[in-house]
Amino acid sequence: MGPAPLMSSAQWYWPGRPPLPDAHFVVATAEAAAQATALLVALKEATAKPFALLLLDEGPYHGPLPWLRLPGLRPRRVLARLKARSLLCLVDGERVRALAAAANCPVVWVNGRSRDLLTLGQVCVASRAVADHIGGGTVTGDPLVTWSPSVTTADAGFCGRFAAVRTAGRFILYFGNTVAGDETVAYQTFLGVRAGAGGLLALAPHDPTRHEGVYRDAIKYHLQTVRQTRLMTSEVPAKTRVYYIESPAARQAMYACADVIVVGGTFTDTPAPPLDEGIWCGTPLVLGPYPKDARLAAAQAALVAATGPTAEAVAAEVQALLADPDLRARRSQAWREWLTLQGTAQARFVTWFQRFDASPTALP
């Protein structure tokens, strides 16, 4: 478990000095606290003030900060015993909100996503999309995801292969980096959005050992299919309905050529392959119900990547995006802005928190 708690359960009921004078108390579950270790260490170093955890659950914590378990006492009694410099809330919930409402110290919410939090302290949000959704908040990016994405650009030569498809006014839907089971979702989704101008489904399984089997299984859908490995440089005919990708380079390049990307490996809770770097191109993303990669989960929480709890819901998201060019443009802009924001999200939050710590009432 790491170091012993700052106080035993019994000591919560004793009068006396606060367990860690003038400390910022971080309200979190043990799991959330572990995931935020890099941020919390950076905050402690930047402010030269003590930080401690107020844990909401019984989960084990092995991190570097001193900690306490939140007892079953009334919020005002807890706060009176702690005499916190501030509360830094990493999670939302009924108990956390009760503490914030009773607090006589400043309160900060990290990655806030609810309008209600705006009346319970300073709310830092992961994206402009979240700020617009809840009607306020300070946009910092997600400081818990320490990652500097490199926004990829389109390969003009590769995307030029689809000139005839584009001239015919057809959309391009890309299911990239797929795993077993994803292809069925891909075909069902594509067949559901073929109305109007129709379109092209680009499909790229991750595992080369599945390529032949997936291709043969696709025959039952009776869709005109071009195998990328058999048409390496030629223009894709306008009547093509499926572009089947079998090389890693083409799988990466295809992301920037599509109108909508559905991320493979997000439809089941089984292990997913590593993300392709081509995904960070700004094309609107749609995720299945299991975005296991932390970066995808952060994008979903930041409202810059669409998702659905079922394959049918994902298909509805795809349909909405393909039917509305303006919606696609807004999603693409929000996605690109967030990718740019994430490169300095943790540093931005730390700088903001330094100003907050120096003068909490001076911030809007």
What pLDDT score does 17 carry?
A: 85
Q: How confident is the model at residue 224 (pLDDT cuts 50, 70, 90)?
A: confident
What average pLDDT does range 68-96 have in this prediction? 94
What pLDDT score does 361 carry?
A: 65
What average pLDDT does range 216-242 have in this prediction? 84
What average pLDDT does range 288-296 have in this prediction? 94
Whether residue 192 is predicted with pLDDT greater than 90 in this model: the reply is: no
| 3-state class (DSSP) for residue 69 | strand
Cα–Cα distance between 93 and 116 in angstroms, integer? 11
Looking at every residue in the chain, the average pLDDT score rounds to 92
What pLDDT score does 258 carry?
A: 97
Whether residue 196 is predicted with pLDDT greater than 60 in this model: the reply is: no
Whether residue 152 is predicted with pLDDT greater than 90 in this model: the reply is: no
Whether residue 140 is predicted with pLDDT greater than 70 in this model: the reply is: yes
What pLDDT score does 363 carry?
A: 59
Q: How confident is the model at residue 16 (pLDDT cuts 50, 70, 90)?
A: confident
Phi, psi angle pair for 199, to nearest 5° = -175, -170
Q: 164-188, pLDDT tens digit by residue? A: 999 999 999 999 999 999 999 999 9
Please state whether the predicted TM-score (pTM) of the whole model is above 0.85: yes
Cβ atoms of 218 and 229 within 8 Å: the answer is no
Cβ atoms of 207 and 182 within 8 Å: the answer is no
Q: 305-360, pLDDT tens digit by residue? A: 999 999 999 999 999 999 999 999 999 999 999 999 998 999 999 999 999 999 87
What pLDDT score does 197 carry?
A: 58
Residue 188's alpha-carbon distances to 184, 218, 297, 311, 351, in angstroms, are: 6, 11, 24, 9, 47
State percent of the chain over pLDDT 90: 79
What pLDDT score does 362 carry?
A: 56
Q: 256-270, pLDDT tens digit by residue? A: 999 999 999 999 998
What average pLDDT does range 102-117 have in this prediction? 97
Find residue 68's DSSP bridge partners: 54
What average pLDDT does range 44-70 have in this prediction? 93
Q: How confident is the model at residue 12 (pLDDT cuts 50, 70, 90)?
A: confident
Whether residue 153 is predicted with pLDDT greater than 90 in this model: the reply is: no
Cβ atoms of 337 and 280 within 8 Å: the answer is no
Report for 148-162, 208-222, 279-293: range of highest mean pLDDT: 279-293
Cα–Cα distance between 249 and 240 in angstroms, integer? 21
Going by C-alpha positions, the residue among 149, 127, 152 that lies closest to residue 138 is 127
Outline which parts of the chain fall under CATH 3.40.50.2000: 10-143+344-362, 156-342
What pLDDT score does 161 carry?
A: 92
DSSP 159-220: HGGGHHHHHTT-EEEEEEEE-TTHHHHHHHHHHHT-STT-EEEEEEES-GGGHHHHHHHHGG
According to CATH, the superfamily of the domain at 10-143+344-362 is Glycogen Phosphorylase B; (3.40.50.2000)
What pLDDT score does 364 carry?
A: 56
What average pLDDT does range 199-218 have in this prediction? 92
What pLDDT score does 1 carry?
A: 47
Q: Which CATH architecture has domain 156-342?
A: 3-Layer(aba) Sandwich (3.40)
What average pLDDT does range 131-150 have in this prediction? 93
